[in-house]
Amino acid sequence: MTTRYALSLALVLGLGITVGRALAQAPSPSGGAAKPPAPVVPTNCKVYGPGKCCDPAVSAHLPKQAVMSSCGETEATFLGEQGSKDTCKYFFKVEGQKEDETFVQVYVPPTKEVPAAPNDPFFKWGKIGNVFYTEKALSPKSAPMVANATGLWLPGKGYIVAVNASTKVCSKPEIKKLAGKMK
């Protein structure tokens, strides 16, 4: 009797495991394979060009309102945002400038090992609080980049926040305000 009981128990456990695996791999009622829910990306934003709204996880590191208040921009000059996987770009209208060149870009890539400071041989980096900024170019080829945009770099836990701000949108003095609003 003990052997029969043990065999029955083993059979029931084996059947339970098999059914459990089958249910876990079963297609959803809609006919496709069961998928995890997609991340929620807002649709109530002002989109620039053929883009989509910024992912709130990215824009949280430097919200649109923080950019506007730091850089002296308004809703009237705000053209829209453009989001992609780890990036959010805020576009602004600047008199006499091409619209696709007047933006503030926020890039937040996940990073396993976050260095304490940027390691870039092309720029000299200064520091405002915890945020590094491109102070000057170290080569003639890099000089136009610093003249047209300021880079900001903030190390986080498991990520880096890198900002590329057009000097036409956010002047050098305004960058200090912007750096203070990065998270």
pLDDT in tens, 7-44: 233 333 333 333 333 333 334 444 444 444 445 555 68
What radius of gyration do the chain's Cα atoms show? Answer: 25
91: Cβ contacts below 8 Å, ≥ 6 apart: 48, 49, 78, 79, 80, 81, 82, 99, 100, 102, 103
pLDDT at 3 over 70: no
Helix ranges (DSSP H) in the chain: 2-25, 56-59, 64-71, 143-148, 172-179
For residue 94, the one-letter residue type is V
pLDDT tens digits, 108-145 = 999 999 999 999 999 999 999 999 999 999 999 999 99
pLDDT at 66 over 90: yes
The pLDDT mean for the chain works out to: 83
pLDDT, residue 85, reads: 92
